[in-house]
Amino acid sequence: MYSLKRERDGVGDSGGMSVIFWYEDDEVIYEHNARPRVGVCIRVGSVYARTMQAQDWWQTSFITEIIIDEEKYVKFRTGNSVYEWRGQ
Protein backbone atom coordinates (compact mmCIF):
# COMPACT_ATOMS: atom_id res chain seq x y z
CA MET A 1 0.00 0.00 0.00
CA TYR A 2 1.22 3.48 -0.93
CA SER A 3 0.06 6.98 -0.03
CA LEU A 4 0.74 10.43 -1.46
CA LYS A 5 -0.31 13.64 0.32
CA ARG A 6 0.22 17.28 -0.62
CA GLU A 7 1.53 19.16 2.39
CA ARG A 8 -0.40 22.44 2.08
CA ASP A 9 -3.92 20.96 2.03
CA GLY A 10 -3.66 17.21 2.63
CA VAL A 11 -5.10 16.15 -0.71
CA GLY A 12 -3.77 13.10 -2.49
CA ASP A 13 -4.59 9.41 -2.65
CA SER A 14 -3.56 5.96 -1.49
CA GLY A 15 -3.71 2.46 -2.89
CA GLY A 16 -1.73 -0.36 -4.40
CA MET A 17 -0.22 1.66 -7.24
CA SER A 18 2.94 3.80 -7.14
CA VAL A 19 4.12 4.50 -10.67
CA ILE A 20 6.77 6.96 -11.77
CA PHE A 21 7.15 8.13 -15.36
CA TRP A 22 9.30 10.40 -17.47
CA TYR A 23 10.00 11.19 -21.10
CA GLU A 24 12.89 9.70 -23.02
CA ASP A 25 13.32 10.31 -26.77
CA ASP A 26 9.66 11.41 -27.11
CA GLU A 27 8.49 8.21 -25.39
CA VAL A 28 6.89 7.90 -21.95
CA ILE A 29 8.78 5.44 -19.72
CA TYR A 30 6.96 3.89 -16.72
CA GLU A 31 8.33 2.19 -13.62
CA HIS A 32 5.87 0.40 -11.30
CA ASN A 33 6.12 0.00 -7.50
CA ALA A 34 8.55 2.89 -7.54
CA ARG A 35 9.77 5.54 -5.12
CA PRO A 36 9.85 9.26 -5.90
CA ARG A 37 13.06 10.63 -7.42
CA VAL A 38 14.14 13.86 -9.11
CA GLY A 39 13.10 14.26 -12.74
CA VAL A 40 9.97 12.07 -12.73
CA CYS A 41 6.25 12.44 -12.06
CA ILE A 42 4.58 10.04 -9.64
CA ARG A 43 1.05 8.60 -9.63
CA VAL A 44 -0.36 6.91 -6.51
CA GLY A 45 -3.78 5.32 -6.03
CA SER A 46 -5.95 2.47 -7.13
CA VAL A 47 -4.83 0.04 -9.81
CA TYR A 48 -8.51 -0.43 -10.70
CA ALA A 49 -11.24 2.10 -11.40
CA ARG A 50 -13.27 2.87 -8.30
CA THR A 51 -16.52 4.70 -8.99
CA MET A 52 -17.68 7.69 -10.99
CA GLN A 53 -17.82 9.68 -7.70
CA ALA A 54 -14.23 9.06 -6.51
CA GLN A 55 -10.84 9.70 -8.04
CA ASP A 56 -8.74 6.69 -8.99
CA TRP A 57 -5.28 8.20 -8.36
CA TRP A 58 -3.30 11.38 -7.69
CA GLN A 59 -0.46 12.50 -9.92
CA THR A 60 2.23 15.12 -9.37
CA SER A 61 4.13 17.28 -11.78
CA PHE A 62 7.86 16.64 -12.19
CA ILE A 63 9.83 16.23 -8.95
CA THR A 64 12.52 18.89 -8.55
CA GLU A 65 13.98 18.12 -5.10
CA ILE A 66 14.07 15.32 -2.54
CA ILE A 67 13.85 16.88 0.93
CA ILE A 68 13.80 13.72 3.10
CA ASP A 69 14.51 10.20 1.86
CA GLU A 70 13.93 7.37 4.33
CA GLU A 71 13.16 3.69 3.78
CA LYS A 72 9.36 4.01 3.65
CA TYR A 73 8.97 7.79 3.54
CA VAL A 74 9.98 10.46 1.03
CA LYS A 75 9.24 14.18 1.28
CA PHE A 76 9.77 15.97 -2.01
CA ARG A 77 9.11 19.17 -3.92
CA THR A 78 7.59 19.65 -7.36
CA GLY A 79 7.41 22.94 -9.26
CA ASN A 80 4.73 24.31 -6.94
CA SER A 81 4.04 21.85 -4.09
CA VAL A 82 5.61 19.74 -1.36
CA TYR A 83 4.44 16.11 -1.02
CA GLU A 84 4.84 13.21 1.37
CA TRP A 85 5.01 9.69 -0.06
CA ARG A 86 4.77 6.57 2.08
CA GLY A 87 5.45 3.12 0.73
CA GLN A 88 5.78 -0.53 1.52
pLDDT tens across 23-32, in order? 999 999 999 9
pLDDT, averaged across the chain? 93
Average pLDDT over residues 48-64: 81
Question: What is the average per-residue pLDDT within 72-85?
Answer: 97
48 pLDDT tier (thresholds 50, 70, 90): confident
Domain that holds residue 7: 2-86
Rg of the Cα trace of the chain? 12
Count how many domains the chain has: 1
pLDDT at 51 over 90: no
Task: Specify the DSSP class assigned to residue 46.
Answer: -
SS (H, E, C) 19-37: EEEEEECCEEEEEECCCCC
